[in-house]
Structure 1
Amino acid sequence: MPAIDADARSLVSPEDLTATVKYLCSLGEKVSGSAEEEKACAYLVERLKSYGYEPVVHVFDSYVSYPRATALTVQGRERYELPVVGVAFGLSTPPEGVTAEIVFAGAGDKAGFAGKDVRGKIALVTKLPSPNNALEAANAGALGMICMSAGKQRHKMIITPVWGTPEFDQTKKIPRLHVVSISAVDGKRIEEDLKKGPVKATLVCDVFEGWRKVRLPTVEIKGKEPLFSLVGAHYCSWFDGSTDNVTGDACVLELARVLKQFDGKLRYGLRFCWWPGHSHGRYSGSTWYADTYWRDLRDNAIVYFNIDSPGVKGATVYVPRHQMAEVSEFNEAMTKEITGWSTITSAKAQLALGKRGDKYVSATRPSRAADQSFWGVGVSSMSVYSMLTPEDENRDHNVGGSGGAWWWHSEHETFDKYDPEILAQDTRLYASILARMATAEVLPFNLAMIAQDYLDSLREFDESAGDALPFKELIASVKALQEKLKALHAHCAALTGDARTHAANQVFLRIARALNPVLYQVCGPFEHDPALGSRALPSLGPALTLSAMEKESDAYRFTIVGVRRRMNHVANQIEEAVRLADEFMRG
């Protein structure tokens, strides 16, 4: 029903969007479980009620962290204090702080720490605080870490790799060290001092870590059938958070208002959620939702559409991000049709934080970020972001949001960084995508594209492992699957009538549920991989280490055993997808 998505676009109000952005920015930093976040929730609920909804606000305990006070004093040939901000899940110091020698550790990766004695010392790192460099520092025995931005700004970050609220003893996996975030200018000053002789630092960190009651507001438009698209945006923030993610919250609120006008006309439903715990709990809000509504999501969710950092001043291109293969063609075609803007799919356009590690798989595939908490369920994911071009003077290649702008997660991320016309265009695009999905006869999935991701990933493993493992056999089975899925697509393209298209859509979702979990995560369907990088078929990743091992070593042989077992899992999911396709086409 193209008329519905055209009508939806015409209803988007830049004035309503601006009013929400202005109010939520006025609340300042919206820490998960804080009074400011509660006010933001109350505002969303009030507006939703005025649109005719009956919002449900889920209240639950979430394990979060946030810095309360931070200070840094440097003592080389001279003594000086530097302005700093803290990070979530950094370790608190005694009130008087801790003092230790500073050691330069480059980018904070393995190469940066190689050959450096940082035990009991403070590492100076040229990148933003992250789980990866925090783990490297902790494993090297560092007492603390000073991380720098690429400019004048100081970014608040989170360093736990644990996805969502920890289970059992997972808190032991959080790197335990004192961490502060400084500007590049101040970091370079410390670097220069280190060239002149020993330098010490005193870090003072007061960081909360523990349980908070958080609120997750939701509303739903029911469709004529139980299936629905899940739309989410996090509403906690660092600082004012104008473009990460106040604009996203305003966008989802406006989508709820606009699409409510078509209540009773949609074949499939729409469910809108505002996530707490994104910035302070490593996606604990969306993870709680995935854990709590796992069966409903498995049975009925068509797609998860994440909205983060729309409406950024200076954005001129669209970048598909966190889009799974089966919906990528639809996502990109809709973006071109509705906006006319250029769409960039290259790895260069992606943000540094969350980049994937694949050699051949599309860089637009989901990474371990952006509330991607639904991989275990197998729910398809899609997003498209308006962004600054990679060459834009305000683009910072170290950041993870705000369209790639340098002000992300900093005190500079204020109301003036928002562009109402760009946000209105983004909202119109998203309304069109969701309306088309909600009124489709046959869902716009191309499942054969999933098989292509399998092939692109297996190509890299086969090149690395050679004849040590039967990757060529697995590749052959995926090629057969791809042909089967192309036949299924052709079979379903001409289907009409609710009963027949309903059956086709159900098999599309079942096949996606069979193929996506193992394509994106290592752990089982009810658990969550850590936030430590992404690649396709990650359980087979150890195959990439074989070429550097001695073939007669224990490590080599143990790796062969482990990868072979995980290849069996992959093969099983391929066979299940073939079975589902055959069963449907025979019926």
Structure 2
Amino acid sequence: MTDISSVRGAVDGDIMWRHLEEFAKYQKEAGTLGELESLRYCEDVMRSYGYRTELLSHEAYISLPKPGASVKVGGVEVGAITHSFSRSAPAGGLKGKVVDVGKGMPDDYKGKDVRGKIVLMDGIANPVVTMIACRMGAIGQIHVSPSEQRHEMCISPVWGSPDDRKAKNLPTSVVCTVRESDGAKLREELAKNGAADGVLVADVDTGWRPTPILVADMSSSAGGDEEPFVFYTGHHDTWYYGVMDNGGANATMIEVARIAALHRDQWKRALRVVFWSGHSQGRYSSSSWYADHNWEELQRRALVHVNVDSTGGKNNTVVADTAAAAELRGLASEAIREVSGQTFGNARMARAGDQSFWGMGVPAIFGNMSTHPVDAAPAANGPVAMFRPGKSGGFGTGWWWHTPDDLIEQMDSDILVRDTQIYMHTVWRLLTDAALPLDYAEHGRYLLEELASLQTAVGARFDLSELQRRAEKLVALASALPPDADPVLVNGILFKVSRALVPVDYTDCDAFDHDPALPMRAYPSLQGVRDLPTLPTGSDEEKFMTTRLVRARNRVAVALAAACAALEEGLAELKKGKSQ
């Protein structure tokens, strides 16, 4: 067996840099010719490494912002950008009174009637604040960037192309972003009289268009058509040239695939590498389409989803704040420690990226890999981070993120090699370990922590003790799996457990649907227990909420029962096999 340090050491920065030079030639917005030509380069390379490739095309609901947006408040007019899934302004611009709503969160609207008005708010445009503004009745939004960079964003809360029911959840207002200094000018003008008229000019091309997906497959030497596979993916579409986001990731994907293919004889399972479109301008339209149209095959064969995003950016020294499912924490921790010496912060997978496969029970690891340290934030990504710093001090990628400046000069070959080595370590173990490195005892411990937090929050008003008992049983049973057990039997057990637990850990909807592209906590269907203590005892609202929570508790209880049953049956079979 090839030593894992050898395959990590085989990562070649010069080869990846040549890929970056190719990606730097194309603007790759979803459904454009530049994206398709760049993707054909990826196809040629993957074929040269021995992969079977298929270039798919499907219709997706894509939204491409056009240049030339502007914002006028009173007598001050400044340049702006509009956003993916903003409404286009009418001829002559969208006109309305401007109201300052601070950060644009619900409390910021108290005492303010914004119906039929334009709201001015701080921060990067995103689905959460856009949705709040639309629900408050605002017809327009002006977002003031926290820096002099204006960052392209997709503001739709709908995951993937909308169906007839979800189309009504698309943004209903015109949305623009201005620079920090221009925002100060607008606020100064607004403060002169306490009110001002505003005009938003914005044009967005939104509609159905063909978009590509590149699928590259390689089976193990002994594998057949139905061989289970490691699912290794990243998006190819970009904002502008997108050399870091997501050219770096595509280079990482190709390099890991190259090295892995050299040692195919050591694989225990297949590898499927997929390059998505529609990530940036379609809110994950390709990965959700692929899930919808390959549901049964993926549910039957996909083992772990490894996602790659934004590797190799300059000054991205922190890798410890990347994310993994609880059952993959051990693998993530090992890969990060062995390559970088950093300690994985156990971050949970976020409701973001192309994570369209939780409903079918596929556990996931990684996404955005490397970030700037928080102490470099003023010169790096502090101004553009939408969330608080990670536990390990990471604070987003560079200031060029989602701007025309995401060019090859923002890349660092040494950081790209380090990030790729982490992926190489991870994919190699997933391909070659006899028993998959899935730790459901760790998942059970993580669930027990969440249940304890929920029970503390709700007190005596809702009982989670049965879920706690079943989670404790999960820990005991998963811990009892012998390390020297038949890996074929162990993998069968782990597969059944993942199909039971992943959907309730990461989804709140039907397994065949997709939840909104909004933040979600662990075991989301249970999170309503945190709100129960705020409702008057005996009220209709309390009883409505309790009805929902009983159903959610049943959903989780049945999933835990199925996971425990799979473990009990598997342990009995292992014991029987050992005694024979």
TM-score, length of structure 1 as denominator length: 0.92
User: 1:259 deviation in Å?
Assistant: 1.7
Aligned match of 1:68: 66
Describe the SS at the equivalent of 1:217: strand
User: 1:96 deviation in Å?
Assistant: 1.5
User: 1:397 deviation in Å?
Assistant: 5.8
Describe the SS at the equivalent of 1:386: coil
Q: 1:580 aligns with which of 566, 571, 578?
A: 566
Distance 1:400 1:300, change over 3 A: farther
Contact (CA 8 Å) 1:70, 1:203: kept in 2 or not? no
Describe the SS at the equivalent of 1:455: helix
Confirm whether residue 444 of structure 1 aligns to residue 432 of structure 2. no
**Gaps in structure 1 of 5+ consecutive residues:** 346-361
Describe the SS at the equivalent of 1:373: coil
Identity %: 31
Confirm whether residue 423 of structure 1 aligns to residue 419 of structure 2. no
User: 1:400 deviation in Å?
Assistant: 6.1
Contact (CA 8 Å) 2:71, 2:198: kept in 1 or not? yes
User: 1:483 deviation in Å?
Assistant: 1.4
**Residues 81-104 of structure 1: CA deviation (Å, up to 9, x unaligned):** 312111111001123211212111
User: 1:122 deviation in Å?
Assistant: 0.8
Q: 1:200 aligns with which of 178, 197, 200?
A: 197
Confirm whether residue 532 of structure 1 aligns to residue 518 of structure 2. yes
Residues paired across the two proteins, number = 558
Contact (CA 8 Å) 1:89, 1:158: kept in 2 or not? yes
Distance 1:515 1:61, change over 3 A: same
**Residues 129-156 of structure 1: CA deviation (Å, up to 9, x unaligned):** 1111111111111010011221110011
User: 1:109 deviation in Å?
Assistant: 1.1
Contact (CA 8 Å) 1:312, 1:417: kept in 2 or not? yes
Confirm whether residue 504 of structure 1 aligns to residue 503 of structure 2. no
Q: 1:513 aligns with which of 499, 506, 515?
A: 499
Describe the SS at the equivalent of 2:66: strand
Describe the SS at the equivalent of 2:203: strand
User: 1:124 deviation in Å?
Assistant: 0.8
The CA RMSD over aligned residues, in Å, is 1.7
Contact (CA 8 Å) 1:65, 1:88: kept in 2 or not? yes
**Residues 264-288 of structure 1: CA deviation (Å, up to 9, x unaligned):** 3311111111110000111111111
Contact (CA 8 Å) 1:514, 1:573: kept in 2 or not? yes
User: 1:63 deviation in Å?
Assistant: 1.0
Aligned match of 1:57: 55
Aligned match of 2:470: 477
**Residues 437-483 of structure 1: CA deviation (Å, up to 9, x unaligned):** 21101211110111122212212221222122221232122112221
CA distance in 2, matches of 1:72, 1:269: 51
**Residues 41-99 of structure 1: CA deviation (Å, up to 9, x unaligned):** 121112223323331111111111111134224243xx333121111110011232112
CA distance in 2, matches of 1:73, 1:486: 60
CA distance in 2, matches of 1:61, 1:237: 18
Confirm whether residue 260 of structure 1 aligns to residue 242 of structure 2. no
Aligned match of 2:96: 100
My pick for the range that moved more, 9-18 or 281-290, is 9-18
Amino acid aligned to 2:343? T
User: 1:332 deviation in Å?
Assistant: 0.9
Report matched runs for 1:128-143 at 5 Å.
128-143=124-139
Contact (CA 8 Å) 1:108, 1:133: kept in 2 or not? yes
Confirm whether residue 371 of structure 1 aligns to residue 354 of structure 2. yes
Report matched runs for 1:452-463 at 5 Å.
452-463=445-456
Describe the SS at the equivalent of 1:60: strand
Report matched runs for 1:482-493 at 5 Å.
482-488=475-481, 491=482, 493=483
My pick for the range that moved more, 294-303 or 137-146, is 294-303
My pick for the range that moved more, 147-156 or 199-208, is 199-208
Describe the SS at the equivalent of 1:252: helix
Contact (CA 8 Å) 1:309, 1:403: kept in 2 or not? no
Q: 2:397 aligns with which of 385, 400, 404?
A: 404
Q: 1:571 aligns with which of 554, 557, 577?
A: 557
Contact (CA 8 Å) 2:349, 2:366: kept in 1 or not? no
Contact (CA 8 Å) 1:477, 1:574: kept in 2 or not? yes
Aligned match of 2:21: 22
Confirm whether residue 309 of structure 1 aligns to residue 310 of structure 2. yes
Amino acid aligned to 1:343? T
My pick for the range that moved more, 108-117 or 138-147, is 108-117
Aligned match of 1:145: 141
Aligned match of 1:161: 157
**Gaps in structure 2 of 5+ consecutive residues:** 388-394, 574-580
Aligned match of 1:216: 213
Contact (CA 8 Å) 1:2, 1:436: kept in 2 or not? no
Distance 1:320 1:300, change over 3 A: farther
User: 1:160 deviation in Å?
Assistant: 1.0
Amino acid aligned to 1:554? D
CA distance in 1, matches of 2:51, 2:386: 33
Distance 1:20 1:313, change over 3 A: same
